[in-house]
């Protein structure tokens, strides 16, 4: 939640400040400490990387769309535990997510943040049907290898989209 949103709904300053302090680095902040983000992810150990990316205490800003998209671009299975990934791989995921988030943010004086699926894009395509690699594309062919994109429930209520060939590691039973 943005600071203005917290103020608007009447969250007291001490509560608000504690909530903000618990957030991980904001990937849209030009001064974000990406090493801190990697360290915070690393602390999630056995947690699947897809679930760890949604933990705003690890790093702030990644939602369900960019979770699936950044893991696809990095070639990492959403089911891989954080502990099984190298720091270099975690850094690549964080940098990919940051790049995707920045590419989908506009100057607020020109246009709002692209906040709905029809406007988000991670593939550099302007065609509405070609804007995302995997998100929302269950059953469609992978844009890289042609394998059908798979959807799986992960965590408490989130869906994850991935290519089982480009992101190899079988999901847990």
Which CATH number do you get for residue 144? 1.10.8.50
CA gyration radius, the chain? 17
Reading the block at residue 104, the tokens are 């989908």
Tell me, yes or no, whether 113 lies in a domain: yes
Tell me, yes or no, whether 54 lies in a domain: yes
Q: Select from 130, 131, 134 the least CA-distant residue to 120.
A: 131
Q: pTM for this one?
A: 0.78
Range of the domain at 133: 27-162
Tell me, yes or no, whether 112 lies in a domain: yes
> 158-168 pLDDT, tens per residue?
899 999 999 98
Q: How many residues does the chain have?
A: 173
Percent of the chain with pLDDT over 70: 70
Query: How many domains in the chain?
Result: 1
> 94-133 pLDDT, tens per residue?
999 999 888 877 655 555 544 444 466 565 556 556 678 9
Tell me, yes or no, whether 150 lies in a domain: yes
Count Cβ atoms below 10 Å from residue 111 Cβ, excluding itself: 10
Q: What are phi and psi of 161, to 5 degrees?
A: -110, 140
């Amino acid at each position: 939640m943005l600071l203005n949103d917290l103020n608007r709904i009447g969250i007291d300053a001490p509560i608000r400040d504690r909530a903000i302090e618990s957030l991980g680095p904001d990937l849209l902040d030009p001064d974000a400490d990406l090493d801190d983000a990697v360290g915070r992810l690393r602390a999630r150990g056995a947690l699947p990387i897809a679930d760890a990316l949604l933990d705003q205490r690890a790093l702030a800003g990644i939602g369900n769309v960019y979770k699936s998209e950044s893991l696809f671009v990095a070639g990492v299975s959403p089911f891989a535990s954080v502990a099984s990934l190298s720091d270099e791989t975690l850094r690549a995921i964080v940098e990919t997510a940051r790049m995707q988030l920045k590419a989908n943010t506009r100057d607020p004086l020109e246009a709002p943040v692209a906040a709905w699926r029809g406007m988000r894009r991670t593939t550099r395509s302007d065609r509405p049907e070609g804007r995302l690699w995997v998100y929302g594309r269950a059953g469609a062919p992978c844009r890289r290898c042609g394998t059908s994109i798979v959807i799986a429930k992960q965590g408490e209520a989130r869906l994850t989209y991935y290519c089982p060939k480009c992101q190899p590691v079988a999901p847990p039973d």
